[in-house]
Structures are given as structure tokens and as C-alpha cells.
Amino acid sequence: MNAGRWLFAVIAARIVFCPATAKAAEPNPDLNAVQVVCGRCHTTAVFIDKPRSWERWNDVFADMTRRGAKGTDEQLERVTRFFLENLTLVNVNTSAAEELAGVLGVSEEVAQAVIARRQQQRFSNIDQLRAIPGINPDKLRERTRRILF
């Protein structure tokens, strides 16, 4: 598409397979990376607590890349993970596996199980989602407002 796909194509594919690495002991290295990469030209208040779909975030990343946003591979990986886990909206009946994995905080396999289930029958509520083996109920509770049906 364009240069802005950096985060999605290059980085997201990698992090989806190791979502657990987000849980580090130190304060929050992912948020620190966001502050370094995205806080250089404006405050993070322009996007923190303003969830969007992953597609719309990719448009923002493309726009910011054009404006000069950059970072190391590690920083961009952290930024991608932070946005997926904290600021992205998913629709459990339509979103792609990598978005589901990031937002729900599950493995690729569990994300695929969600997709298999919706192909049988659409999800209509959070209880049906919680019933999928491997779904973490705590993360679900934390992220409820970003999970759409």
C-alpha cells in the first residue's frame, strides 16, 4: 500500500507470535517507546484513550511516517504492540487474526479458534467469546470496551 504499512506488515507479524513478551517486569517499556517515537512532535494526548480500528491506526502511522516519525525496529515493535493491546478496536465477527490476537492478548492459535467459531455462528456477546478455550477472562474484562460484535 504505502510506507506506513511498516508497522503492520513488518512488525505486527512478528509480535503476534510472542504476545507474552509485553509483560515485562519494568514499568512499561512499550509505553516508553511510544513516548519516544510518537511524543517527539506532539504530546501522546492526541491519541491516548482514543481507540480506533487497526486500519485507521495504520493510516495514522502512514501519515506520521510521511511527517518524519521513525524508530528502531525494537521501538516500532513496541509501538505496534502498545497500540494493538491498548488503543485498538476489534470486531470479533470481522477482524483479522492478528488484530484479534493483539487486542484479546491471545496466541495466533486462539485467534484462529475465534475465527472458526464465528464461521459457524456469529458471536453476539462477550460470554460467547469468553467460552473459547484460551481466552483470558481478565484481559477480556480490561479490554471490553474495545471489543465489538
- Residue 80 C-beta: closest distance to ligand HEC, Å: 9
Q: Is 49 in the site for ligand HEC (CB under 6 A)?
A: no
Out of 14, 18, 42, 130, the only residue in the binding site for ligand HEC (CB under 6 A) is 42
CB 86 within 8 A of CB 145: no
Smallest Cα–Cα separation from 106: which of 148, 137, 66, 77? Answer: 137
Q: Is 79 in the site for ligand HEC (CB under 6 A)?
A: yes
Out of 62, 64, 110, 114, the only residue in the binding site for ligand HEC (CB under 6 A) is 64
Q: Is 61 in the site for ligand HEC (CB under 6 A)?
A: yes
- Residue 35 C-beta: closest distance to ligand HEC, Å: 10
Q: How far apart are CA 114 and CA 129, in angstroms?
A: 8
Q: What angle do CA 97, 100, 104 make, to 5 degrees?
A: 145
Q: Is 11 in the site for ligand HEC (CB under 6 A)?
A: no
Cell 513496541 -> residue: 78
Q: What share of the chain is helix, strand, coil (3-state, %, to 5)?
A: 65, 5, 30
- Residue 136 C-beta: closest distance to ligand HEC, Å: 26
Q: What is the 3-state secondary structure (H, E, C) of 37-87?
A: HHCCCCCHHHCCCCCEEHHHHHHHHHHHHHHCCCCCHHHHHHHHHHHHHHH
Q: Is 40 in the site for ligand HEC (CB under 6 A)?
A: yes
Q: Is 84 in the site for ligand HEC (CB under 6 A)?
A: no
Out of 20, 23, 45, 67, the only residue in the binding site for ligand HEC (CB under 6 A) is 67
- Residue 83 C-beta: closest distance to ligand HEC, Å: 7
CB 64 within 8 A of CB 38: yes
Residues that bind ligand HEC (CB under 6 A): 37-38, 40-42, 46-47, 60-61, 64, 67-69, 79
